[in-house]
Structure 1
């Protein structure tokens, strides 16, 4: 922001009046006479010669804090007479000697007072003073910390983020108990003034990535931010791509692990979903539980995830290509069985696959939108009844039902929902190419996808790192396809210019004591 714009913004601010009535009326008018705005006028032993006012918004403040730490001291304490001589000294005396909450601010403009009140602070006005006090009294009813709803694990922490950004930051503070964890909060949205926090580990994270994150957030000009998805679309490197270039999670341990690896996290007030960047393609195949289980078991499961992702993208296309163009590649017995199944089916393989895939997507979406009590039951019954009825009616073959069902199950193996959704969309495109060109169309589609993946960046980091380009000294296996034992993970896996790339001292396992 330039010096000229700063001067113009300051000149646009309205200073508080010395008249308490004028200030109270201005605040009441700016809030449009809202019914949840509380304005209490009173006189206090703290300043018996002056009228005071306590103003706050009900519902977003803690009434007990206001009564015990603000109102009760104001009503009962007596200040020396010399402290009431000037208006500035009176406000300073109330701040130092009377109000007992932890955070107290002095303001001199109407706009500042209104903004802090909207954040959950209560305003204290004194007649004859152009200054006001703001006392921290945030509260109100909110959802308590509970188990994660979408990213569950068998072994590991079970708590998840909530909608309150202060609670979420405190959870991260309890995990990373270091002063190097820096948190910077910005307000975004001309109407909502949503708190957006940037978290990073100083001394580990790449400072250029942190500065770039600040720059992109500062460039956002929108009237409101209701969820972290608003922020994600503004700060991501590439908008026109199916692949996510930022990771989102509701798990505090996932965010803490990302911070320890040198990534930057973004939290938005009002949503339990946090964002992390930079990110790579292989990060979406890692579950938090991979690092809590034994490394051999985690490596086996991770390989299964890669195989399931490939199956979810290619299995229907391979079936279409083989049954339509390349029947000679099938064993004779299997070919005769498939031909017998398709004898009464009136549609070609492509139309049959598109029909079943579209039906399954409709069932999946209906299961999400239905009430929780009946959603799962309707989805299961609908899938069984429709599948069996379609086969008996001769609309689709039994083999196609098996292919679509296994493809759907493979899609649910992915730990990250947004990457699973990407494979669902790409699947339809590859099916069309397979229906027109067979295996040649599949190869063209895969080549296009790989070239596109190699061109993506996430805050300057190559999306396919450490495979393309190969990270120097990292090896193709490191934190990409398998997980090595913890005692062997010496360096941080991110392909960044980290200030401290070393995670631990050596890769030597502590020797077992022999008896």
Structure 2
């Protein structure tokens, strides 16, 4: 009976057809000011942050009016100094009727922001909860919604998850308008289109879809738009909700949608034809479609010389495979393939493991789990304490485990190198995928040695080749091979050589730079000009 009561209460609370709570009144507002104020008070439960300010309009002060707003999410200085003061000081004609007064106010308030006339209660409550101020006039069955959004916001700071030695130092904030403005400052083009959509039947979260018209593939844009509109859920509290609801493949550890908190990365992806999804209340912006090699690219790859960027990118790929197979490789070599290890090293490892009572797999599993616990503790604890716990804890536990004969010192070295390698990957999403697959490869190495590792890598490659991100192959431009886009994969060609945008993402506007962009000495450039 208790379960049935909860289910019936749930059905009475949420109207599945309209997507609005049934406690929100439906239909049009009343023309009586007192009735409208009472409706707002009853619907909001007399909440203390709902401010209702009543005053009189007209030269003879014979017209009652009221403004209603939510404290904390509006710019109260704008409301009191510009809006309310301007409305009170308006000199209405003596014969002004209430219906004419609302129109007169709308025309006279030049200092206010965007204004809209509304009749429906659901639209009015959505505006009120979004930070707009409602103006009611007694005798009028309409209200004026005035844009007064404000309140306290986090200042623009350097992003903490994607640090760069060279490049901009500003990152996204939790304010949707601020995030859009930061991208606008980088792409000053009217073809940068922004579409607004509200998702979340209870939270009514503002989501913006951003792309460059003429560069982005219209079919991919329509697919993203369709998937967003298909979402019917109570709450969207972070962009991770949307990421899980619109991705192509759910049962995979690899991310198929890229997320970042750097405006320059979003701008660069928009210029390649991708689509950005911005969500109110989070600094992480989604970028789609995403490909596998994109998660190994750092923002400073394009700000540095191509040879340095190529070397660092190859190092990151090597680091990824090291974090993926290092413990499994140690288990396979020490258990099945001792002949592949130099004789002196085999003797040293055997001497270390003489007092260890566990097989290599159990030894590696204990150390990996211990390091994962320390890593998680370092993230959750306060920053000053977390760093000390993770560093000191690793040193103390590692040394104590070796002295107690539980693990060998070689295993501590292998696990430590693996942990450091996982931190060196630019994207946390791809790094945590390697951390999960690492345990599977360790198990296969215990059963079949190097053959098990090869089987695991082959199946992982097949799985990667089967993935799609909004219809785009996840391993492109490597599989399928696209020679014209190979210059921005494992290698990074010079900027002047990257003439075309990525294919399969954009198939119409491919050229992104003019001819003869390669730098050359003055004499040679003159000869080039004379030849042409």
**Cα distance in 1, alignment partners of residues 407 and 63 from structure 2:** 84
Q: Give 3-state SS (helix, strand or coil) of 1:395's partner.
A: coil
Map 1:131-280 → 2, pairs under 5 A? 131-280=142-291
Which is further off, 23-32 or 99-108?
99-108
Shift of 1:92: 1.6
- TM-score, length basis structure 1: 0.95
Structure 1 match to 2:487: 478
Identify the residue that residue 27 of structure 1 maps to in structure 2.
Answer: 40
Q: Which residue pairs with 2:8 in the alignment?
A: none
Unaligned runs of 5+ in 2: 1-16, 525-532
CA apart distance, 1:440: 1.1
Which whole-Å CA distance do the structure 2 matches of 1:224 and 1:423 have between them?
Answer: 30
Aligned to 2:527: none
Q: What's 1:428 paired with?
A: 439
Cα shift readout 1:11-44 (whole Å, capped 9, x = no counterpart): x832111101011111111111101001111103
1:513 is matched with which residue?
522
What is the CA distance between 1:68 and its match in structure 2?
1.9
Deviates further, 437-446 or 43-52: 43-52
Q: Are 1:496 and 2:505 counterparts?
A: yes
- 1:39-438 to 2 correspondence within 5 Å? 39-45=52-58, 48-81=61-94, 84-85=96-97, 87=99, 89-98=100-109, 100-438=111-449
Consecutive unaligned residues of structure 1, counting only runs of 5 or more, are none
Q: CA deviation at 1:514?
A: 4.6
**What SS does the aligned partner of 1:373 have?**
helix
Query: 1:273-315, CA deviations, whole angstroms, 9 ceiling, x for partnerless residues?
Result: 0000001000000000100111110000000000000100011
Contact between 2:59 and 2:94, CA under 8 Å: does it hold in 1? no
Q: Distance in 2 between matches of 1:300 and 1:26?
A: 66
Judging changes above 3 Å, is the alpha-carbon distance between structure 1 residues 303 and 144 closer, same or farther for their aligned structure 2 residues? same
Q: CA deviation at 1:230?
A: 0.4
Alpha carbons of structure 1 residues 205 and 60: separation in structure 2 relative to 1, 3 Å: same
* Whole-Å separation in 1 of the counterparts to 2:108 and 2:292: 57
Question: Residue 17 in 1 paired to residue 30 in 2?
Answer: yes
Cα 1:204–1:47 change in 2 (3 A) is farther
Moved more, 404-413 or 456-465: 404-413
CA distance in 2, matches of 1:298, 1:32: 58
Indicate how the Cα distance of structure 1 residues 37 and 99 shifts in structure 2: closer, same or farther if over 3 A, else same: farther
**In structure 2, what is the Cα distance between the partners aligned to 1:287 and 1:510?**
24
1:332 Cα deviation from its structure 2 partner? 1.0
> 1:49 Cα deviation (Å)?
2.2
Inter-partner Cα distance in structure 1 for 2:474 and 2:219: 18
Q: Using the alignment, how far apart are the partners of 2:383 and 2:421 within structure 1?
A: 23
Conserved 8 A contact 2:58-2:93: no
How much has 1:499 moved relative to structure 2?
Answer: 2.7
Native 8 Å contact 2:353 2:408 kept in 1: yes
Q: Equivalents in 2 of 1:419, 1:119: separation in Å?
A: 35
Q: 1:37 to 1:433 in 2, by over 3 A?
A: same
User: Structure 2 CA distance, aligned partners of 1:498 and 1:47?
Assistant: 67
| Count of residue pairs the alignment pairs up | 504
Q: Distance in 1 between matches of 2:60 and 2:470?
A: 56
- CA pair 279-412 structure 1, distance change in 2 beyond 3 A: same
Tell me, yes or no, if the aligned pair for 1:47 and 1:78 is still in contact at 8 Å: no
Relative to structure 1, the CA distance from residue 208 to residue 47 in structure 2 (aligned partners, 3 Å threshold; closer, same or farther) is farther
SS in structure 2 of the partner of residue 200 of structure 1: strand
Q: Output the CA distance in 1 between the equivalents of 2:153 and 2:87.
A: 29
**Distance verdict in 2 for CA 1:359–1:507, change over 3 Å:** farther
Indicate if the aligned counterparts of 1:248 and 1:276 stay in contact, CA closer than 8 A: yes
Q: Distance in 2 between matches of 1:402 and 1:252?
A: 38
In structure 1, what is the Cα distance between the partners aligned to 2:60 and 2:141? Answer: 16
Contact 2:98–2:138 (Cα < 8 Å) also in 1: no
Q: Decide whether aligned partners of structure 1 residues 459 and 47 sit closer, same or farther in structure 2, where only a CA change above 3 A counts.
A: farther
Query: Who is 2:459 aligned against?
Result: 448
TM-score of the aligned structures, taking structure 2 as reference length: 0.92
Tell me the SS of whatever aligns to 1:185: strand
> Residues of 2 paired with 1:468 and 1:315: CA distance?
26
CA distance in 1, matches of 2:52, 2:424: 55
Q: Secondary structure of 1:158's partner?
A: coil
Residue 374 of structure 1, CA deviation: 1.1
Tell me if the contact between 2:274 and 2:288 (Cα under 8 Å) persists in the aligned partners. yes
CA distance in 2 between counterparts of 1:95 and 1:308 reads: 62
Give the 3-state SS of the residue equivalent to 1:474 in structure 2. helix
On the 8 A contact 2:276/2:285 being kept in 1, the answer is yes
